[in-house]
Amino acid sequence: MKRKRTVALRNLAAYQSPPAEKIGKYKILGTLGRGGMGIVYKGLDPDIEREVAIKTIRLDTVVEGAEKDELLARVVREAKAAGRLNHPNIITIYDVIHKGELTFIIMQYIDGHSLMNQIDSGTRLSPREVIDLLRPLADALDYAHQMGIVHRDIKPANILIDKTGKPVLADFGIARMEASTMTGPGKTIGTLSYMAPEQVMGGAVDHRADLFALGVILYELLTGKKPFGGDNMSTIVYKIVNEEPPRVTDLNHDLPKAYEDIIRKALAKNPDERYQSGMAMIADLETPENLAQATHAYDSETSEIRKERVRSRSRIVLAAGLILFAVLGGVGYKMLSSGRASAKPQAPAANAVKPKETPPPGPPQAPPEAPPAVSPAEENLAKLRASFEAGSFEQTIAIAQKILHDEPANAGAREFLNKARDAQLKERARPLIDDGIAKFRSEDFRGCAADMEEALKLDKSNPTATSYLRQAEQAISKAEILGMLEQYRIAVESKDWPTIESLVSPALAAEVKEQFVNWFNGYDGIRVRILDTSANMADDPSGAKLVFSQMIHAVGKQDHKQTMLDQGQSVWELKRVNGSWKVVNISKPSGE
């Protein structure tokens, strides 16, 4: 124990003392600030004469064992996560250097100040300025989330603003890759006032916790106050989990009423009821009347449910408080009784009123039976079921993977893992289907078919995608067949037998060749008029039928007279062969 303390003190002294003139190749220019994890220095990359920020990660508080390894892994993860990101509003990570018990992260230097400094200064922004500030941050978060990275510590101190006014998101030091299980459920990381309910309760966290924090910052910028204030951690946690914040229009009377709907959605307790992307929040801020109309019916339907939920939580908290009060009161009563018993007894006064006798206590009550213990396996399956039914598929996958890591043969976890993955694929298919439907309505049938094919790769049995794919393919086929008819018309008029031959099957080409050769050799000035065209697709997608009327006029080479070569309806039967349509039979309706 003494040796461990000595090492820790030595490392702390090294951390507090100024570093050498260089860290690796980077020259130290000065100190930018101090934080919970370490000092941040200003440095210079001599190779390209670029100013950098050098963040020190102190390891003196964890000097050995698994905790130290975990912290080192977290540092590496920071560089790995942030190094994958390439966005103008996200700090760029350049390098990681290990030196003894210290680790240094070399990153982009921002010459400016933090949003926290701006808020603390009392500077107020107009709603337009707030939107302009948050829009690039929302875009940066959406980009990071698409890359599979959750920041988990969005707060004003981690938003830097350069001298041009551009905001930059800093410190992915506690960002969690969604596929990683290193930071699992049960660990709360981040600054309390900006944390989502699931985060302060130690639950699994996904990208929607970042969007909740962005909503807290939005509220603070619009009103000058945090939505969930308090003098201690317990009060703040209770408000985050159970209470709605004061209305923004009560604190800032200049705001449109529709902003209430936006704030309520941004700070929803249930992640599924929140914004699912940052730019969706920005869009509603810029056109708030749209969300106000859309949420009116929802509010009227769910207001009573929400009120009952709040009343239920209040009853639970009140009951817990009464129990605690009773316990503490009992302890105090026993202490007071013990003190009285040890004091010297005194004779009662002559005029004292004799107290009423208390009846002897009855037989002791048997304690209530404890509820049956829930096994860890049952508890884990209950968590999986609740997460899946709530639609939190990423969380379900993370919990199931953790269970299967410890219990590879757990059939329930495997079932929920597969179900969650299938549901996730279906969610990914939805925007493709929506885009495909829009393309179909604008007659972009090939674009529709491509979107529906991609959607069916994700959700193989989706009936909407299947139906629209079939309709789009039929529309494409009809267009191709009508194009063939136009090619036929031009080829006949120009006496182009090779083109006609390419449109029909080999067997049909041998059958009709003699007729067309006779026309081409015996007539000039051939004109083809097509009328009453109707293309019908067969039940078999590789078959089709084209019915049309035609009149073919020509001038004889010998007598120079106008002659009708063909008149009336024709029926083409077609088959798709190797991706191309071919006419396999030409006939006339009966009676002609």
What are the catalytic residues?
153
Q: Which two tokens stand for residue 55?
A: 């963040």
For the record, the structure tokens of 23 come out as: 């860290």
Could you give the CA distance from residue 142 to residue 39 in angstroms, rounded to a whole number?
Answer: 29
Pairing mode of beta strands 50-58, 102-108: antiparallel
Nearest to 585 by CA among 486, 479, 505, 477: 505
* Residue 505 · residue 581 · CB < 8 Å: no
Eight-class DSSP state of 206: -
In order of 308, 309, 315, 324, 325, the CA distances from 321 in angstroms are 20, 19, 10, 5, 6
Cβ–Cβ < 8 Å for 92, 107:
yes
Q: How many CA atoms are closer than 13 Å to the CA of 237, on its beta-carbon side?
A: 10
Phi-psi region of 122 (alpha: psi -120 to 50; beta: other; left: phi over 0): left
Name the packing angle between helices 411-441 and 393-406 (round to 10°): 150
Distance CA(453)–CA(311), nearest Å, equals 49
DSSP 163: T
Compute CA 28 distance to the chain's CA centroid, rounded to the nearest angstrom: 40
Residue linked to tokens 């084209």: 546
Alpha-carbon distance of 384 to 80, in angstroms, equals: 30
- The Cα angle at residue 338 between residues 335 and 340, in degrees rounded to 5: 110
* Burial zone of 148 (CB within 10 Å; 0-12 exposed, 13-18 middle, 19+ buried): middle
